[in-house]
Amino acid sequence: MVHLRMLLRAGLVAVGALVTACASMPSRDPLGVTVAGIESLPGEGMELRLLVKLRVQNPNDSPVEFDGVALNLDVQGRAFASGVSAETGVVPRFGETVVSVPVTVSMLRMVRQVAGMIDGRSTDKITYAMSGKLSGTTLFSTRHFTATGEFALPQESSQDTPD
Protein backbone atom coordinates (compact mmCIF):
# COMPACT_ATOMS: atom_id res chain seq x y z
CA MET A 1 0.00 0.00 0.00
CA VAL A 2 2.90 2.34 0.78
CA HIS A 3 4.38 1.69 -2.67
CA LEU A 4 1.07 2.55 -4.30
CA ARG A 5 0.92 5.91 -2.44
CA MET A 6 4.49 6.72 -3.41
CA LEU A 7 3.77 5.84 -7.04
CA LEU A 8 0.62 8.00 -7.00
CA ARG A 9 2.55 10.96 -5.52
CA ALA A 10 5.31 10.59 -8.10
CA GLY A 11 2.69 10.51 -10.85
CA LEU A 12 1.02 13.67 -9.55
CA VAL A 13 4.38 15.47 -9.34
CA ALA A 14 5.19 14.44 -12.92
CA VAL A 15 1.80 15.65 -14.19
CA GLY A 16 2.24 18.95 -12.33
CA ALA A 17 5.70 19.43 -13.83
CA LEU A 18 4.37 18.68 -17.32
CA VAL A 19 1.52 21.18 -16.95
CA THR A 20 3.93 23.85 -15.68
CA ALA A 21 6.33 23.20 -18.57
CA CYS A 22 3.54 23.44 -21.16
CA ALA A 23 2.21 26.65 -19.64
CA SER A 24 5.63 28.27 -19.76
CA MET A 25 6.15 27.51 -23.47
CA PRO A 26 6.12 30.69 -25.57
CA SER A 27 2.97 31.26 -27.59
CA ARG A 28 3.38 31.16 -31.34
CA ASP A 29 1.23 32.72 -34.03
CA PRO A 30 -0.02 30.28 -36.66
CA LEU A 31 1.85 29.95 -39.92
CA GLY A 32 0.26 31.54 -42.98
CA VAL A 33 0.02 29.03 -45.84
CA THR A 34 -1.31 29.78 -49.34
CA VAL A 35 -1.14 28.02 -52.69
CA ALA A 36 1.64 29.66 -54.71
CA GLY A 37 1.29 27.43 -57.76
CA ILE A 38 0.23 24.09 -59.18
CA GLU A 39 2.08 22.12 -61.85
CA SER A 40 1.27 18.84 -63.58
CA LEU A 41 3.35 15.72 -62.86
CA PRO A 42 3.34 12.36 -64.67
CA GLY A 43 0.76 9.99 -63.13
CA GLU A 44 0.31 6.26 -62.93
CA GLY A 45 -2.74 4.58 -64.43
CA MET A 46 -5.95 6.07 -63.08
CA GLU A 47 -4.56 8.97 -61.10
CA LEU A 48 -3.67 12.60 -61.58
CA ARG A 49 -0.44 13.88 -60.04
CA LEU A 50 0.15 17.53 -59.26
CA LEU A 51 2.98 19.47 -57.66
CA VAL A 52 1.43 21.94 -55.22
CA LYS A 53 3.71 24.81 -54.24
CA LEU A 54 2.87 26.27 -50.84
CA ARG A 55 4.01 29.71 -49.72
CA VAL A 56 4.64 29.41 -45.99
CA GLN A 57 4.88 32.65 -44.00
CA ASN A 58 6.22 32.74 -40.46
CA PRO A 59 4.95 35.70 -38.40
CA ASN A 60 7.02 34.70 -35.37
CA ASP A 61 10.34 35.96 -34.07
CA SER A 62 12.00 32.54 -34.27
CA PRO A 63 12.65 30.38 -37.35
CA VAL A 64 10.61 27.22 -38.01
CA GLU A 65 12.72 24.20 -39.02
CA PHE A 66 10.88 21.37 -40.73
CA ASP A 67 11.70 17.86 -41.90
CA GLY A 68 8.76 16.65 -43.97
CA VAL A 69 5.41 18.00 -45.12
CA ALA A 70 1.92 16.49 -45.34
CA LEU A 71 -0.99 18.05 -47.22
CA ASN A 72 -4.72 17.31 -47.68
CA LEU A 73 -6.78 19.30 -50.16
CA ASP A 74 -10.59 19.47 -50.28
CA VAL A 75 -12.46 21.02 -53.21
CA GLN A 76 -16.10 22.09 -52.99
CA GLY A 77 -16.30 20.47 -49.54
CA ARG A 78 -15.07 17.05 -50.69
CA ALA A 79 -11.74 15.29 -50.24
CA PHE A 80 -9.78 15.78 -53.45
CA ALA A 81 -6.01 15.28 -53.14
CA SER A 82 -3.37 14.33 -50.60
CA GLY A 83 0.38 14.09 -50.57
CA VAL A 84 3.58 14.05 -48.58
CA SER A 85 7.11 15.27 -49.14
CA ALA A 86 10.40 14.57 -47.40
CA GLU A 87 11.51 18.15 -48.13
CA THR A 88 13.46 19.81 -45.33
CA GLY A 89 14.11 23.45 -44.71
CA VAL A 90 13.65 26.52 -42.57
CA VAL A 91 11.03 29.23 -42.67
CA PRO A 92 12.99 32.25 -41.43
CA ARG A 93 11.76 34.45 -38.58
CA PHE A 94 9.32 36.99 -40.01
CA GLY A 95 10.01 35.43 -43.40
CA GLU A 96 8.62 33.05 -45.96
CA THR A 97 9.59 30.12 -48.14
CA VAL A 98 8.00 28.01 -50.87
CA VAL A 99 7.56 24.30 -50.15
CA SER A 100 6.70 21.80 -52.92
CA VAL A 101 4.42 18.83 -52.20
CA PRO A 102 3.46 16.24 -54.85
CA VAL A 103 -0.20 15.24 -54.43
CA THR A 104 -2.30 12.48 -55.94
CA VAL A 105 -5.90 12.71 -57.11
CA SER A 106 -7.64 9.39 -57.75
CA MET A 107 -9.86 9.00 -60.79
CA LEU A 108 -12.82 8.24 -58.48
CA ARG A 109 -12.37 11.56 -56.68
CA MET A 110 -12.14 13.41 -59.99
CA VAL A 111 -15.37 11.78 -61.19
CA ARG A 112 -17.12 12.70 -57.94
CA GLN A 113 -16.00 16.33 -58.29
CA VAL A 114 -17.20 16.59 -61.88
CA ALA A 115 -20.52 14.92 -61.01
CA GLY A 116 -20.98 17.31 -58.13
CA MET A 117 -20.33 20.31 -60.39
CA ILE A 118 -22.84 19.34 -63.09
CA ASP A 119 -25.86 19.12 -60.84
CA GLY A 120 -27.69 21.83 -62.77
CA ARG A 121 -26.58 24.81 -60.67
CA SER A 122 -24.21 27.30 -62.19
CA THR A 123 -20.81 27.34 -60.57
CA ASP A 124 -18.79 30.51 -60.86
CA LYS A 125 -16.47 29.91 -57.89
CA ILE A 126 -14.50 26.92 -56.71
CA THR A 127 -13.83 26.72 -52.97
CA TYR A 128 -10.96 24.82 -51.43
CA ALA A 129 -9.72 23.98 -47.97
CA MET A 130 -6.32 22.58 -47.17
CA SER A 131 -4.80 21.22 -44.03
CA GLY A 132 -1.44 19.77 -43.27
CA LYS A 133 1.67 19.96 -41.20
CA LEU A 134 5.32 20.83 -41.30
CA SER A 135 6.95 18.07 -39.31
CA GLY A 136 9.26 19.53 -36.70
CA THR A 137 12.87 18.56 -36.16
CA THR A 138 12.51 18.41 -32.36
CA LEU A 139 9.96 17.13 -29.87
CA PHE A 140 6.75 19.26 -29.91
CA SER A 141 7.91 21.39 -32.87
CA THR A 142 5.52 20.08 -35.55
CA ARG A 143 3.40 22.94 -36.92
CA HIS A 144 -0.11 22.23 -38.22
CA PHE A 145 -1.82 24.58 -40.68
CA THR A 146 -5.18 25.12 -42.33
CA ALA A 147 -6.27 27.50 -45.05
CA THR A 148 -9.35 28.12 -47.16
CA GLY A 149 -9.94 30.05 -50.32
CA GLU A 150 -11.80 30.32 -53.56
CA PHE A 151 -11.12 31.16 -57.13
CA ALA A 152 -13.41 32.27 -59.91
CA LEU A 153 -13.97 30.16 -62.99
CA PRO A 154 -13.59 31.87 -66.36
CA GLN A 155 -16.93 33.10 -67.63
CA GLU A 156 -18.16 32.27 -71.12
CA SER A 157 -18.15 35.31 -73.35
CA SER A 158 -21.56 36.21 -74.71
CA GLN A 159 -20.51 37.65 -78.01
CA ASP A 160 -23.22 37.78 -80.64
CA THR A 161 -22.27 36.33 -83.98
CA PRO A 162 -23.77 37.85 -87.12
CA ASP A 163 -26.31 35.74 -88.99
pLDDT of residue 85: 97
Nearest to 80 by CA among 48, 55, 119, 53: 48
Q: Which helix (H) or strand (E) holds 114?
A: helix 107-117
C-alpha 63/C-alpha 57 separation (Å) is 10
pLDDT digit string (tens) for 14-71? 666 555 544 444 578 999 999 999 999 998 888 899 999 999 999 999 999 999 999 9
pLDDT digit string (tens) for 103-146? 999 887 777 777 666 765 656 788 899 999 999 988 888 999 99
C-alpha 120/C-alpha 155 separation (Å) is 16
pLDDT of residue 159: 56
Q: Does the 27-149 domain belong in CATH 1.10.730.10?
A: no
What ranges make up the beta strands (E) of the chain? Answer: 32-41, 47-58, 64-75, 78-91, 95-106, 125-136, 143-152
With 80 as the cut, is the pLDDT of residue 73 above it?
yes
C-alpha 31/C-alpha 131 separation (Å) is 12
With 70 as the cut, is the pLDDT of residue 11 above it?
no
pLDDT of residue 23: 44
Please, are residues 77 and 132 in contact by the beta-carbon 8 Å criterion? no
C-alpha 11/C-alpha 6 separation (Å) is 9
- Secondary structure (3-state) at 106: strand
4-37: b or e for each residue (b if 16 or more CB lie within 10 Å)? eeeeeeeeeeeeeeeeeeeeeeeeeeebebeeee
Averaged pLDDT for residues 88-103: 97
pLDDT of residue 69: 97
With 70 as the cut, is the pLDDT of residue 7 above it?
no
